Amino acid sequence: MLLKRPRPSVIALLFAMSLQATPARAENIEPHYAGSKTCASCHAEQSRWQHTVSMANAMQLVAECPILIEHPKLTFREEPYSYQIVRDGSKSIYTVTDGKETITVPLSYAFGLGEAGQTYVFELNGKFFESRVSFFHKINGLDLTMGARNTKPKSLEEAAGRQQDAQDARECFACHTTGGVRANKLHLETMTPGIQCENCHGPAAEHVASARKGGGKPVIPAKLHDLSTEELSDFCGGCHRTWSKIALSGPHGIPNVRFQPYRLTNSKCYDSADPRIRCTACHDVHQDLQRDAAAYDAKCLACHTAAKGAAQVAASVPQQKACPVARKNCTTCHMPKYELPGAHYQFTDHTIRVVKAGAPYPN
Ligand code: HEC
Ligand code: HEC
Ligand code: HEC
Ligand code: HEC
Ligand code: HEC
Ligand code: HEC
Ligand code: HEC
Among all bound ligands, the one having the nearest atom to the CA of 295 is 5
Ligand 6 midpoint to CA 241 (Å): 22
Percent of the chain predicted with pLDDT > 90? 82
| 336 burial type by CB count under 10 A (0-12 exposed, 13-18 middle, 19+ buried) | middle
Gap from CA of 234 to ligand 7 centroid (Å): 28
* pLDDT(29) > 50: no
* Cα 331 to averaged position of ligand 7 atoms, centre (Å): 10
Task: Supply the pLDDT for residue 95.
Answer: 98
- Measuring CA to CA, which residue among 140, 65, 145, 142 is closest to residue 106? 65
Task: Give the pLDDT score at 363.
Answer: 86
Q: Going by C-beta distance under 8 Å and a sequence separation of 6 or more, which residues neighbour residue 251? A: none
Has residue 22 got a pLDDT over 50?
no
pLDDT at 324: 93
- Residue 38's pLDDT is 94
The amino acid that residue 121 corresponds to is V
CA 355 vs. chain centroid, Å, equals 26
Q: Cα(64)–Cα(60) distance, rounded to whole angstroms?
A: 7
Query: In this structure, are residues 130 and 164 in contact, taking their beta carbons and an 8 Å threshold?
Result: yes
Nearest CA to ligand 3 atom 33: 111
- CA–CA dist 117, 132 (Å, integer): 12
Q: Which ligand is nearest to the CA of 243?
A: 5
Q: How far is the centre of ligand 5, averaged over its atoms, from the C-alpha of 105 (Å)?
A: 37
Q: Could you give the CA distance from residue 131 to residue 145 in angstroms, rounded to a whole number?
A: 7
In angstroms, the first-to-last Cα distance of the chain is 31
Q: What Rg do the C-alpha atoms of the chain give, in angstroms?
A: 23
Q: Which ligand is nearest to the CA of 122?
A: 3
pLDDT digits (tens, 9 = 90+) for 204-224: 999 999 999 998 899 999 999
- Best substitution site from 175, 289, 320 to test ligand 5's pocket, by max atoms within 8 Å of Cβ? 289
In the chain, % of residues over pLDDT 70: 88
**Count of positions (residues) in the chain:** 363
Ligand 3 atom 1: residue of nearest CA: 239
Q: Which residue has the higher pLDDT, 135 or 11?
A: 135
Question: Each residue of 99-145: pLDDT tens digit?
Answer: 999 999 999 999 999 999 999 999 999 999 999 999 999 999 999 99
With 90 as the cut, is the pLDDT of residue 232 above it? yes
Q: Residue 200 CA: which ligand 2 atom is closest?
A: 5
pLDDT tens-digit readout, 298-343? 999 999 985 444 455 555 567 888 999 999 999 999 999 999 989 9
Predicted local confidence at residue 156, as pLDDT: 97
- Ligand 7 pocket: which residues have CB below 6 Å? 297, 300-301, 304, 320-321, 323-330, 332-334, 354
Nearest to 35 by CA among 167, 143, 193, 237: 193
Give yes or no for residue 348 CB within 6 A of ligand 5: yes
Q: How many Å lie between the centroid of ligand 1 and the Cα of residue 219?
A: 9
Ligand 2 neighbourhood includes 116 CB (under 6 angstroms)? no
- Report which protein residue has its CA nearest ligand 3's atom 21: 112
Query: What's the confidence (pLDDT) of residue 2?
Result: 33
Atom of ligand 6 nearest to the CA of 297: 37
In the reported structure, the alpha carbon of residue 189 is separated from the centroid of ligand 4 by a whole-number distance in angstroms of 26
**Closest by alpha carbon to 280, among 304, 299, 297, 259?**
299
Write down the pLDDT at residue 5.
41
Assess contact for 282 and 291: CB atoms under 8 A.
Answer: no
**Per-residue pLDDT, 306:** 55
Q: Report the C-alpha gap between 132 and 161 in whole angstroms.
A: 4
Please tell me the residue having the least CA distance from ligand 6 atom 2: 303
Residue 360 confidence (pLDDT) above 90: yes
Residue 20 has pLDDT above 70, yes or no: no
Ligand 2 pocket test, candidate residues 113, 118, 239, most atoms within 8 A of CB: 239
Residue 134's pLDDT is 98
> Which ligand is the nearest neighbour of the Cα of 55?
2
pLDDT band at residue 271 under the 50/70/90 scheme = very high
Atom of ligand 4 nearest to the CA of 278: 17
Alpha-carbon span 29 to 206, nearest angstrom: 13
Q: Average per-residue pLDDT in the chain?
A: 89
State pLDDT tens for residues 246-256: 999 999 999 99
Q: What is the mean pLDDT of residues 40-59?
A: 93
